[in-house]
Structure 1
Amino acid sequence: MAAAVALTGCQRGSSNAPAPSTTGPGGCPAVQAEARAAVARAEQSETAWTGPTTGPSAVSGRTIVFVAQTMTNPGVAGVAHGLREAARVIGWQVRVIDGGGSPAGIQAAMGEAVALRPSGIVIGGFDPGSTSQQVAAAGAAGIPLVGWHAVAAPGPSRRPPLFTNVTTRVEDVAGISAQWIIAHSGGRAGVVLFTDASVPFAKRKSDLIRAKLATCAGVRLLAYENIPIPDASSRTPREVASLLARFPGAWTHSVAINDLYFADAAPAFRAAGRKGTGPPFNIGAGDGDPSAFQRINSGQYQSATVPEPLTQQGWQIVDEFNRAFSGRPASGYVAPTHVSTAANSAGATSWDPPGYREAYRRIWGR
């Protein structure tokens, strides 16, 4: 509680406490040791498959419609790519309908999807509550729904009615993002957090990041920047320039609920003469789109990201539908968090862990 109270005054850098020291012993030895161990695990690239190894054989002749929030979102597009890849292996047809990012467009796309009477529909990156009439129509028609980032938690959902929701755990993503800062800084950091508080999921993620950072006495939250994602391209450069003026030496690290903030921040850092390799050292707590990997690998104002295994999640969606069609429960699998840096990404532009293709092929008999 004391940590939470201490953070309540940190909106947009209102704290006037002394800047954290970047030398000497860390400010939280036990927390720092735990963070180092967690980050070391998360940075491993050659990990063993921990997902399902048993399940029903492939059901034939099915059609899946993927309703996308917008295909300009790299995360949504990456999952759609994985879905198509897996569908070719299992022998199904896939159709993608782009909602275009607007409420009206998403509702129209869902309406079109239901009218096609497919075997299943994917809720691709939007709140099912925004299409409640279409979701009800799908239920009445007996069409199972599988979500991707559709609700906050992974797994089956009764309200809204989803056979399952495929996503990483927001608690894990938030936690490892904060632990990366604690470990990377040696327990001494001045942090700026970028979020979109208008989105409940994003606000919860940023609140969890704040709480985890507060477990280290040597980490100070300099500013909590609430910038709605639609305004990020116009507002982020101005806010970053202001923050650099206010905290020229104290600002050592940043964390954002989505990598895109650092794409928009880069011009302001560059104009201020900051080196692309930091400080501030920046980590994105979400998605891990190709542009984020490009910034990380080229040392351009981003040091790390906590990426979603997008292609793998597309394969998982196919497997979850196959379980639904076979009258079996959802797999319950949740992908573990991973931290990608220039040191472990080997020049890749996405996080594509090993083992899942072979595992799903064995399950399906393909």
Structure 2
Amino acid sequence: MNRRAVRGAALLAAAGLLACCQRGVSTGTGSATAGPTRAGCPAVLDRAKSDVQQAERIDLAWRGPTSGPAAVPGKTIVFVAQTMTNPGVAGVARGVAEAAAVIGWSVRVIDGQGTPVGIQAAFSQAIDLRPSGIVIGGFDPALTAQQLAQAEAAHLPLVGWHAEATPGPSQNPKLFSNVTTSVTEVARITADWVIAESNGNAGVVVFTDDSIPFARNKSDLIKSGLADCPNVRLLASANIPIADASGRTPQEVSSLLARFQGQWTFSAAINDLYFADAAPALRAAGKPGDGAPFNIGAGDGDPSAFQRIRSRQFQAATVPEPLTEQGWQVVDEFNRAFAGDPASGYVAPVHVATAANSTGVTAWDPPGYREAYRRIWERPEVGGVRSGE
């Protein structure tokens, strides 16, 4: 065989080996982007694909509480919001209002406007109203140390939503419970999705807000997960405060496009709203809505995110919080506090929403929780003892 024939045979053999080792995109983007050989991170890739497939299921049964105290009547809750422009905060506030109407309580929302001064003023106003309990809605309790001390002195139960990195009760700050999915699991499944969708070969930009410890921790965990696959490269971490996202994100995206050009193939953000603000810059640069960079939000799954995903316009997936469900859980945690019971300990499992599993919906609203909480709260009492106890 002559030198040219030998070289041709070698190329054909290499091409065949590469073809048998490549995989296309696993789910969601609708693109058939091929990745490198499995030699890059085969075990990580297989695990990521399996975990994403499980997280995309929408038919899981309710795994939250099915027992607890019946409704304690006549309570008033104040929801102190980090900012109502944050879709996650606003979604949970609506869930709290919905659940409060069922249990028979009143709710007032006070908007902190996304600034430390505004949040402190909102919390002080909440204390002055002398409610039965206060929700810390999406901000770091360290911002309001003075108000926390006042609430504790007044024996006001506090329930957080995304107030701490971990779910459940907290002693410092003193929270009866903190309602959130596990940030570790959210970050893990976000990184898994990028790895699975890219077949282990991506250039990634992460959007975050380092002013919020919860968000900073989440983005650090995402970056750590991406590092499990050597051919998934972190190009940049864009630190943009959520309150400034609408003004700063378009300019940052334009700068990133100029800097990285074709290297930027995937994005992950600690909140979906970054992609609402990124879309005009991507569109102006001639990027197709269903093409690279493929974007996933690691929270919170607001209606506009679902619309972008379904229409394949600059967002391919989200890891949504079950916002309305979490609002109901906030109310249930307060009810347990008022009854003298311990916190429920429930943590919602992570979910990945894509165009394939989100037809006709505008939020991740898993089944079963409304019925479960109604059954807990509405149990009749017989002779002063709650039935079933």
RMSD after superposition: 1.8
State the partner residue of 2:169.
156
Amino acid of the structure 2 residue aligned with 1:48: A
State the partner residue of 1:306.
319
Comparing 197-206 and 250-259, the one that deviates more: 197-206
Cα displacement string for residues 150-196 of structure 1 (whole angstroms, at most 9, x for unaligned residues): 12211111111110111111111111000001111111212122222
SS in 1 for 2:264: coil
In the alignment, which of 40, 56, 62 is matched to residue 27 of structure 1?
Answer: 40
Deviation at 1:291, TM superposition (A): 1.4
Structure 2: 5+ residue stretches without partners: 1-32, 380-389
Compared CA separation, residues 121 and 231, structure 1 to 2 (3 A): closer
1:88 lines up with 2:108 in the alignment: no
SS in 1 for 2:175: coil
Is 1:99–1:106's contact at 8 Å kept on the other side of the alignment?
yes
State the partner residue of 1:137.
150
Is 2:34–2:198's contact at 8 Å kept on the other side of the alignment?
no
State the partner residue of 1:250.
263
Deviation at 1:21, TM superposition (A): 7.8
Normalising by structure 2, we get a TM-score of 0.85
State the partner residue of 2:70.
57
Amino acid of the structure 1 residue aligned with 2:96: L
Mapping of residues 189-208 of structure 1, within 5 Å: 189-208=202-221
1:37 lines up with 2:37 in the alignment: no
1:295 lines up with 2:308 in the alignment: yes
CA–CA distance in structure 2, aligned partners of residues 238 and 216 of structure 1: 30
CA–CA distance in structure 1, aligned partners of residues 38 and 185 of structure 2: 27
Compared CA separation, residues 161 and 272, structure 1 to 2 (3 A): same
Cα displacement string for residues 312-366 of structure 1 (whole angstroms, at most 9, x for unaligned residues): 0110011101111111100011111111111111121111110100111111126
In the alignment, which of 343, 351, 356 is matched to residue 343 of structure 1?
Answer: 356
State the partner residue of 1:110.
123
Instruction: Specify the structure having the higher radius of gyration (Cα).
Output: 2
Deviation at 1:252, TM superposition (A): 1.6
Deviation at 1:111, TM superposition (A): 1.7
Deviation at 1:199, TM superposition (A): 2.8
State the partner residue of 2:297.
284
Compared CA separation, residues 82 and 359, structure 1 to 2 (3 A): same
SS in 2 for 1:345: coil
Structure 1: 5+ residue stretches without partners: 1-19
SS in 2 for 1:288: coil
CA–CA distance in structure 2, aligned partners of residues 183 and 217 of structure 1: 13
State the partner residue of 1:317.
330
1:361 lines up with 2:374 in the alignment: yes
In the alignment, which of 265, 269, 288 is matched to residue 275 of structure 1?
Answer: 288
Compared CA separation, residues 242 and 101, structure 1 to 2 (3 A): closer
CA–CA distance in structure 2, aligned partners of residues 76 and 231 of structure 1: 16
Compared CA separation, residues 98 and 156, structure 1 to 2 (3 A): same
State the partner residue of 1:125.
138
In the alignment, which of 339, 342, 365 is matched to residue 326 of structure 1?
Answer: 339
State the partner residue of 1:7.
none
Is 1:21–1:189's contact at 8 Å kept on the other side of the alignment?
no
CA–CA distance in structure 2, aligned partners of residues 313 and 219 of structure 1: 33
CA–CA distance in structure 2, aligned partners of residues 106 and 22 of structure 1: 46
Is 1:26–1:188's contact at 8 Å kept on the other side of the alignment?
no
Amino acid of the structure 1 residue aligned with 2:207: F
CA–CA distance in structure 2, aligned partners of residues 199 and 70 of structure 1: 13
CA–CA distance in structure 1, aligned partners of residues 172 and 36 of structure 2: 50
CA–CA distance in structure 1, aligned partners of residues 155 and 42 of structure 2: 55
Comparing 222-231 and 136-145, the one that deviates more: 222-231
Aligned residues: 347
In the alignment, which of 264, 269, 278 is matched to residue 277 of structure 2?
Answer: 264
Task: Calculate percent identity across the aligned residue pairs.
Answer: 71
CA–CA distance in structure 1, aligned partners of residues 170 and 60 of structure 2: 29
